[in-house]
Chain A
Amino acid sequence: MSEQDTPPIRARATRYYDGLWGVIARYLKVPRGGPRLPSDPEESYEVFHPAPGFLRCLKLWFWLAFLLLDGALLAGWIVLFVAIPWLALLLLPVTLVLLVVPEFVIYVALHLRYDATWYLLTPRSLHLRRGIWVIQEMTITYANVQNLRVRSGPVQRLFGIEDVLVETAGAGAGTQDHPATISNQGLLEGVADASRIRDLIMARVRTQQGAGLGDEPSAGVVSPPHWSPQHLALLREIREVLATARLDT
């Protein structure tokens, strides 16, 4: 709505939005910065939001729903205006409020959802955070990743984004109505460089010697001893020592 108009209005909208974030951060105690994990100082890590295409994708669905619902509401009001004009005029303010307010709230909520979604990738682990009312955080190490899924629908591809699902052997179906809370899956929604993330994680998973079920990587992987010339020379010496010893007795 207002964001697609002239720049001053956009600047003002941004200012109001920042103010809203200030209120949320202060009273709902939502952290504004990205997450951190303890790591080695020399290890690089990246903290990022979903791709901007993800927000545009959400907005597309929003505008479609907006046109559909508000069109129906407006059509209903016009029918009522033709049939019972005085009642329609009486209901006009209510209709106008219903036309604008929920959409405005949802539009802002989309932005909030986008800004509250954080992904943190370190060379060893993955950390996800999302949510305003309920903040959900998930931490997994690549050592425990069992498999990866990359999926995208036609609309998502139009915006150049994909979903990356990282699955561990962790338990559970979670709640089905909330796919983001399925407990053994880390969902990186709407990332633009899914193939890079996929390669990064899979490269780590492939080099793992364990099955990611708590087994020690070093257990059972003992290389067979191979004898160098030095060993052989030493063994020969021992044999000679023993041979002379037998002669002595």
Chain B
Amino acid sequence: MPRPSIGHNDGCEIQEMASPSKHDPFDAAAIRRPVRALQTYYLIVSLLSGPAFPFVGIPLWIKYHTLRYRIDDEGVTMAWGYLFRKEILLTYRRIQDIHVRRNVIHRWLGLASVAVQTASGTAGAEMTIVGILEPDRLRDYLYLKMRGARHVTQPRTEEEADEEALDLLRQIRDLLRDREGGRGHGT
């Protein structure tokens, strides 16, 4: 693919999205749209539904063309729909479990459906991310953002707090001393 000449960063981003390989760092924030393979998958699904083809196919076609993701530092947002719009927002900290489901067609196309659950009461998964190549890397990304996946260092221990209090008091003393010294000079 020809490398666009506008700005070095843009070129890198486009190339990464176009040909993701194992060696690139996984850039979740670059995921905005489902990959084309999802359209193929939806086409196969609606063809397999036989006579119900239009009723199955049209909503899926709309979903593919309107689906947008936004994956940032705090959470994932997913929106789709034309007449009936849907938008799902969740934060990483509230993820309860991650399910990855792959049927044979998914695997042939390199897809998967990554279902993310929170502790809300609905029966299904809260968010099902579809149309992502390399679902394992997305799974790993979400897993590392999940609560408890990494060792969290306590922001401050007791000794640190004590140390800080002592330091604060020292500063107050010094400030007062300076003020007194200055005032003593002035008068």
A236 CB to nearest B CB, Å: 10
Which of B102, B149, B155, B183 makes the CB contact (< 8 A) with A124?
B149
Residues of B close to A230: CB separation below 8 A? 166
Q: Is the CB of A208 closer than 8 A to any CB of chain B?
A: yes
Q: Which residues of A contact B169 (CB under 8 A)?
A: 231, 234-235, 238
Residue in A124, A171, A238, A241 whose CB lies within 8 Å of B122: A171
**Given A124-B149, A225-B165: A214 and B93 interface contact (C-beta under 8 Å):** yes
Write the B127-168 contact mask toward A (1 if CB under 8 angstroms, else 0).
000000000000110011011111110110010011001100
B49 within 8 A of A: no
Given A134-B102, A171-B119, A38 and B161 contact (CB-CB distance below 8 Å):
no
Residues of chain A with a CB closer than 8 A to B173's CB: 234, 237-238, 241
- How many of chain A's residues touch chain B, expressed as a range? 35 or more
Asked if B32 is an interface residue, CB under 8 A from chain A, the answer is: no
Given A144-B148, A238-B172, decide whether A168 and B102 contact each other with a Cβ distance below 8 A.
no
A234 in contact with B170 (CB, 8 Å): yes
B126 located at the interface, meaning its Cβ lies under 8 Å from any Cβ of chain A in the complex: yes
Q: Could you tell me if A140 and B172 are in contact, using CB atoms closer than 8 angstroms? A: no
Q: A141-B146, A183-B117, A226-B162 given as contacts; is B123 within 8 A of A172 (CB)?
A: yes
Bound-complex Cα distance A168 to B117 (A): 10
Instruction: Check A171–B143 contact: CB distance below 8 A.
Output: no
B160 CB to closest chain A CB, in angstroms?
11
Q: How large is the interface on B (under 10, 10 to 19, 20 to 34, 35 or more residues)?
A: 35 or more
Chain B contact residues, majority secondary structure: mixed
By the criterion CB–CB under 8 Å, are A125 and B99 in contact? no
Min CB distance B187 to A, Å, is 8
Answer whether residue A20 sits at the interface, using C-beta atoms and an 8 A cutoff.
Answer: no
Asked, given contacts A135-B102, A136-B99, A213-B94, whether A170 binds B118 with beta carbons under 8 Å apart, the answer is yes
Tell me whether B36 is interfacial, beta carbon within 8 Å.
no
Q: Are B99 and A228 in contact (CB under 8 A)?
A: no
**Contact flag A28-B118 (CB < 8 Å), given A184-B97, A225-B162, A238-B176:** no
Known: A231-B165, A241-B176. 20 other contacts (CB 8 A): A29-B104, A125-B143, A134-B103, A136-B100, A141-B149, A143-B147, A143-B148, A144-B148, A170-B97, A171-B120, A171-B121, A172-B123, A186-B97, A214-B118, A223-B161, A226-B162, A228-B162, A231-B166, A241-B180, A245-B176
Residues of B within 8 A of A (CB): 91, 93-104, 107-108, 115, 117-126, 139-140, 143-144, 146-152, 154-155, 158, 161-162, 165-166, 169-170, 172-173, 176-177, 179-180, 183-184
